[in-house]
């Protein structure tokens, strides 16, 4: 699951973490006019959930920072599904380019 990790922070509570700036697509994201920080990755996650699996939206919360993306909650399966949606984008420049273009075409704004 690199560069992400899913941790149990306390019994029954989980966090999906991604260190922003540690992905293979960081330079591409910058070239597309965005800062590859935790807030950008929250936008990626929100757009993916909306487009791919809207039922996930209420099953966890977000708490990004400049240097880290974080989604958290008690539903481990939902966070695992989110990780599966995000993981390809951390290393596949073509997929990231397509996602950013699709988001911008819909008027979606990344909060980066």
The 3-class secondary structure across 67-104, one letter per residue, is CEEEEEECCHHHHHHHHHHHHHHHCCHHHHHHHHHHHH
* 29 Cβ contact list (under 8 Å, min separation 6): 35, 36, 40, 96, 100
Q: Per-residue pLDDT averaged across 95-110, rounded?
A: 95
- Look over the chain and give the mean of its residue pLDDT values, rounded to a whole number: 95
pLDDT of residue 2: 83
Tens of pLDDT, residues 14-68: 999 999 988 999 999 999 999 999 999 999 999 999 999 999 989 999 999 999 9
Residue with the larger pLDDT of the pair 2 and 92: 92
pLDDT of residue 89: 96
pLDDT of residue 108: 95
pTM metric for this prediction: 0.95
Q: Is the pLDDT of residue 88 over 80?
A: yes
Report residue 9 as tokens: 């922070």
Q: Is the pLDDT of residue 106 over 80?
A: yes
The bridge status of strand 68-73 relative to strand 61-62 is antiparallel
Q: Give kind and range of the element (H or E) at residue 45.
A: helix 38-52
């Amino acid at each position: 699951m690199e560069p992400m990790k899913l941790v149990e922070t306390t019994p029954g509570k989980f966090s999906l973490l991604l260190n922003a700036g540690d992905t293979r697509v960081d330079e591409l994201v910058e070239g597309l006019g965005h800062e590859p920080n935790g807030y950008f990755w929250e936008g990626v996650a929100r757009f993916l959930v909306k487009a791919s699996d809207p039922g996930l939206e209420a099953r966890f919360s977000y708490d990004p920072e400049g240097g880290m993306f974080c989604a958290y909650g008690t539903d481990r399966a939902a966070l695992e599904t989110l990780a599966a949606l995000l993981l390809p984008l951390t290393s596949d420049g073509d997929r990231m380019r397509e996602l950013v273009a699709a988001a911008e075409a819909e008027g979606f704004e990344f909060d980066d």
